[in-house]
Amino acid sequence: MQISSRFTIAVHVLIAIETFKNDRKVTSEFLASSANVNPTVIRRLLQQLKKADIVTVKRGSGGADIERPLTEITLLDVYNAVEAVENGRLFHFHENPNELCPVGRNIHKIMDRRLEEIQNAMEDKMRRITIADVMADANRLIEN
């Protein structure tokens, strides 16, 4: 299992918007060059972040801005905005375990609670880290 790069690219985008907002128009092309991805990827992420009320996007070459204070945007907010998690579940279970097999018949009873605990722990941690926290780390590194 691996979370797609959409999440880390979205965080990159938010940090870049905040870093360069006073120096230039922060366009999808500029963000794409910073993240070294296709501008189409950035435009799709910006639309998802916009739908979640995390950014505003001006049409044309107007650029992007962050909609809310960084202290009010958590990593979980960003994750939920850009990751397509089926039915709210991080882990996808194989569909039809063999009911005739004692393992297959019981695998959900064995694993479901544990997987839910793991997902809850991850989400709790992500809920406690704000984009302001990440930006503070970025500022320390950028200044050096």
C-alpha to C-alpha distances, 136 to 47, 76, 113, 130, 132, nearest whole angstrom: 25, 18, 36, 10, 6
- Residue 137 lies inside a defined structural domain of this protein: yes
Does residue 72 register a pLDDT over 90?
yes
Confidence of residue 44 (pLDDT cuts 50, 70, 90): very high
Q: Is residue 1 part of a domain?
A: no
SS3 (DSSP) at 66: strand
What pLDDT, in 10s, does the model give residues 20-32?
Answer: 999 999 999 999 9
**pTM for the model:** 0.86
Q: Would you place residue 86 in the very low, low, confident or very high pLDDT band (cuts 50, 70, 90)?
A: low
- Is residue 30 domain-resident? yes
Instruction: Give the total number of structural domains in the chain.
Output: 1
Q: Terminus-to-terminus CA distance in the chain, angstroms?
A: 35
Tell me, yes or no, whether 85 lies in a domain.
yes
What is the token pair recorded at 70?
């960084």
Q: State the CATH number of the domain containing residue 138.
A: 1.10.10.10
Torsion of CA 101, 85, 137, 62, to 10 degrees: 160
Average pLDDT value over all residues in the chain? 91
Tokens of 73: 């945007």
Q: How confident is the model at residue 48 (pLDDT cuts 50, 70, 90)?
A: very high
The range of the structural domain enclosing residue 89 comes to 6-143
- Per-residue pLDDT reduced to its tens digit, 89-133: 777 777 788 999 999 999 989 998 999 999 999 999 999 999 999
The proportion of the chain whose per-residue pLDDT surpasses 90, expressed as a percent, equals 76
Mean pLDDT across the stretch 41-70?
A: 92
